[in-house]
Structure 1
Amino acid sequence: MAGRAAEYTEWRIRKTLLMSPSEVALVSRIRVLWLIKGLGPGGAEQLLVSSARVADHDRFDYRAAYVRPDKDQLVPRLTACGVPATLLGGGRQGRLWWPWRLRRLMREVDIVHAHSPLLAGVARLAARTIPVRERPVTVSTEHNVWGNFSLPTRLLNATTAGLDRRRWAVSLEVRRSMWRRRQQGSAVLVHGIVQGDDHPPAGTRGRVRRELGIPQDAVVAITVANLRREKDYPNLLHAAQIALLEEPSLVVLAVGQGPLEDEVRELHESLGLGDRVMLMGYRTDVADLLAASDLFVLASAHEGLPVSIMEAMTAGLPVVATAVGGVPEAVVTGKTGILLPPHDPEALARALVTVARDRPLRDEMAEAGRERSTVFDIRSAVEVQQRAYAELVRS
């Protein structure tokens, strides 16, 4: 590694002697590749966009790569933040040859930061096939508990994780879920959202409710979760059926898309939920929908540390959620929300009704949530990562 660093430094000195000051600045930037499975509207993907917004682009040359051609909704937002995104897995041949495309791209950067366990394993092995003087350093972030991964992915990730120079987990629970040997050397790094963003203008609440046909005096519970197995929509829909019978003023908004859409819609219809539970699909106006709501609900079976909960608390919504993954690290039960065991729709329904009927409780939890949400600042995590990038390149 020392030999590679010396050669790299000598190369940069030779280059800079022939360059203008602006060209020198570009060459001296540390080149970082963010590697992720897709760039759809998921939590880890949103974190990359937030990171791109606050990153130091003068010192670091960021780029991203992904393999899911059907998950590209956030590519324009990432590009607008100065981070170009490369699709590795497009087309039938791309599904087979993306590891070779990744290897070629890895030879052009100094750091590869993986945000997907499968891609992390492939990147670590690919790095070992690159000559030492061209080999990038690999680091990774674990965004979900290991029990949520398929067995092959878990094995690949676990057996290759020791090749990373840095590993981060987004919550204590994610770190605890790792193999005991891999917990060592894995640091908990709480991510977050961009603090200080402008809130929706006055009147947003009424406007959104009118557009959706929701009465102004209704109590609106919102969930933002993709239609995937770990989000446990059956738990939410069964709880909603019970809660709606007890509290006529309650309306539920469900924002998200995913592979279980047909299954979720079929269950929604069979339970007779109608317009009281609105399946809204993918939305770009989540901030406005949060402003139109009174509480946030999350019925997941597995989680890392949900970005949606951070956004809800920042928006001043009390949280009713299952106590899974890093959720208990974010929500203080009885103060900023109510936590419940997973797979218990009756308990979830009771909590929804309790919060829906108690306006003073909602106001109290909302204020406490706003105060607590300030700890979820993406700038802190990005600064830690950028210091690590610089140290690893220098070493």
Structure 2
Amino acid sequence: MKGGPIRVLWLAKGLGRGGAEQLLVNCAGHVDRSRYEVEVAYVLPHKDALVPALEAAGLPVHCLGGAPGRRWPLRLRALLAERRYDLVHTHMPVPAVAARLLTFGLRTARGRRVALVHTEHNLWERYRLPTRWANALTYWRNGAVIAVSHAVASGIGFRRPGDRLTVVHHGPDLGDAPSGPAARRAARAELGLPEDALVIGTVGNLTAKKDQASLLAAFALLRREHPDARLVLVGAGPLEPQLRRLAGEGVLFTGSRGDVPALLPGWDVFCLSSRQEGLPVALMEAMTSGLPSVVTEVGGMPEVLDDGVEGRLVPPGDPAELARALGGLAADPALRERMGAAARERSKSFDVAGAQRAIERVYARVLAR
């Protein structure tokens, strides 16, 4: 390409083990390096679990927080001025607002204005009111917007006539993740689970949005009929002490884990009790691993899972209905096998390489203006 590869900055609030952050890692291995030279920056220094994975993929990573006496927007402004990126692709609203303001007047190494692309991972209703207002007031600066699901796209609170909005269903990048009976035994041994127990697993930060409290209540109901069942909660977060107090027998808290793909073969059913979602990577990973799922009918989850085919969709905040759906799968191994096979088949449409190509088409369109 004339003038060398396009210089792109992916900007995120943190690089912890969240779904939005994992999408960056998934896409990193599929960047067209002949056209794009990608770097990553993040704000929160304590959320750095995925930094090694990004660096292993060949992407330089810049931490903007943690410098004594300096605020991260100043460090972002300095980075933008020094590196002179052609395009900044923002994730999460707070760093996105900063990038829209700080790129005013900046020029790229090619002498052009900095192009801006933003990915929406969540519904606007989840944002705090000041964040929502700041997002709306600066949204016009985006050259293009990508949404991770149609549900997220429909919830965007600011649109202008003629705005270009692209929905891109990302996918997991499980690589050579283990599967089969040996992987099942290894996963159960790793977590100390009985080989013959029914195991339900969930993955997500321990926050109100994920509503693991409803899942714990549903599991308590399930144990009345299936007393040997186990529930595995993978994730960490501010509600962990409260959730531990709610948990009864058979519940295992693993904390945050970087080996989720290796744990999935040890489970019989995947579950998400979320009250809000964009399109969770954890669900797509579970489906790719051949697990039937019971998830709430929120966000983009009904876009990738059909009720009664790859799993069950239930209303959010309803432990009794969640317990009923889990109980139906617990009592019927043949149904679990059938839905798991359907989930694996459906997962063939999850294409992270294709998602990155779609993102790069958005880049090309914005840069051509």
Which interval holds the TM-score relative to the shorter structure?
over 0.9
1:122 aligns with 2:101: no
1:199 aligns with 2:178: yes
- How far apart, in 2, do the equivalents of 1:354 and 1:360 lie? 11
- How far apart, in 1, do the equivalents of 2:190 and 2:23 lie? 29
Aligned to 1:231, which of 190, 198, 210? 210
Secondary structure (helix, strand or coil) at the match of 1:61 reads strand
- How far apart, in 2, do the equivalents of 1:388 and 1:321 lie? 31
In structure 1, the partner of 2:140 is 162
Amino acid at match of 1:158: A
Unaligned 5+ runs, structure 2: none
**C-alpha displacement at 1:131, in angstroms?**
5.1
1:115-170 Cα shifts (integer Å, max 9, x gaps): 11111111111111425846411110000111111111111112211111110111
**C-alpha displacement at 1:181, in angstroms?**
2.7
- How far apart, in 2, do the equivalents of 1:130 and 1:209 lie? 53
In structure 2, the partner of 1:349 is 323
Secondary structure (helix, strand or coil) at the match of 1:174 reads helix
In structure 2, the partner of 1:42 is 18
Check whether the contact 1:161–1:182 (CA below 8 A) recurs between aligned residues: no
CA gap of 1:213–1:384, structure 2 versus 1, over 3 A, is closer
**C-alpha displacement at 1:197, in angstroms?**
3.6
Amino acid at match of 1:67: V
Check whether the contact 1:195–1:374 (CA below 8 A) recurs between aligned residues: no
Check whether the contact 2:179–2:289 (CA below 8 A) recurs between aligned residues: no
**C-alpha displacement at 1:92, in angstroms?**
5.0
Higher helix fraction (1 or 2): 1
- How far apart, in 1, do the equivalents of 2:365 and 2:209 lie? 36
**C-alpha displacement at 1:106, in angstroms?**
2.1
In structure 2, the partner of 1:30 is 6
**C-alpha displacement at 1:372, in angstroms?**
0.5
In structure 2, the partner of 1:3 is none
In structure 1, the partner of 2:49 is 73
Aligned to 2:350, which of 354, 373, 376? 376
Amino acid at match of 2:198: V
In structure 1, the partner of 2:239 is 260
What's the TM-score once normalised by structure 1's chain length? Answer: 0.88
Unaligned 5+ runs, structure 1: 1-8, 13-27
**C-alpha displacement at 1:208, in angstroms?**
2.6
After TM superposition, the structure 1 stretch with the greater mean CA deviation from structure 2, 199-208 or 68-77, is 199-208
After TM superposition, the structure 1 stretch with the greater mean CA deviation from structure 2, 300-309 or 241-250, is 241-250
Check whether the contact 1:36–1:114 (CA below 8 A) recurs between aligned residues: yes
- How far apart, in 2, do the equivalents of 1:261 and 1:52 lie? 31
Amino acid at match of 1:242: L
Amino acid at match of 2:168: L
Aligned to 1:142, which of 110, 120, 126? 120
After TM superposition, the structure 1 stretch with the greater mean CA deviation from structure 2, 117-126 or 133-142, is 133-142
1:87-137 Cα shifts (integer Å, max 9, x gaps): 10114534xx21121122223211100011111111111111425846411
In structure 2, the partner of 1:244 is 223
Amino acid at match of 2:133: L
After TM superposition, the structure 1 stretch with the greater mean CA deviation from structure 2, 54-63 or 301-310, is 54-63
**C-alpha displacement at 1:392, in angstroms?**
3.0
- How far apart, in 1, do the equivalents of 2:207 and 2:174 lie? 28
After TM superposition, the structure 1 stretch with the greater mean CA deviation from structure 2, 40-49 or 184-193, is 184-193
Secondary structure (helix, strand or coil) at the match of 1:54 reads coil
Aligned to 1:310, which of 266, 275, 284? 284
Amino acid at match of 1:343: G
RMSD (Å), alpha carbons? 1.9
Amino acid at match of 1:102: L
Amino acid at match of 1:241: A
- How far apart, in 1, do the equivalents of 2:193 and 2:352 lie? 34
Secondary structure (helix, strand or coil) at the match of 2:232 reads strand
**Percent identical residues:** 45
1:63 aligns with 2:63: no
**C-alpha displacement at 1:227, in angstroms?**
0.9
Aligned to 1:214, which of 179, 193, 196? 193
- How far apart, in 1, do the equivalents of 2:158 and 2:56 lie? 40
**C-alpha displacement at 1:187, in angstroms?**
1.9
**C-alpha displacement at 1:198, in angstroms?**
4.2
Residues matched between the structures, number: 364
- How far apart, in 2, do the equivalents of 1:265 and 1:196 lie? 33
**C-alpha displacement at 1:209, in angstroms?**
1.9
Check whether the contact 1:158–1:182 (CA below 8 A) recurs between aligned residues: no
**C-alpha displacement at 1:80, in angstroms?**
0.3
In structure 2, the partner of 1:387 is 361
Check whether the contact 1:318–1:337 (CA below 8 A) recurs between aligned residues: yes
CA gap of 1:104–1:365, structure 2 versus 1, over 3 A, is same
**C-alpha displacement at 1:207, in angstroms?**
2.5
Which entry has the higher C-alpha Rg, 1 or 2? 1
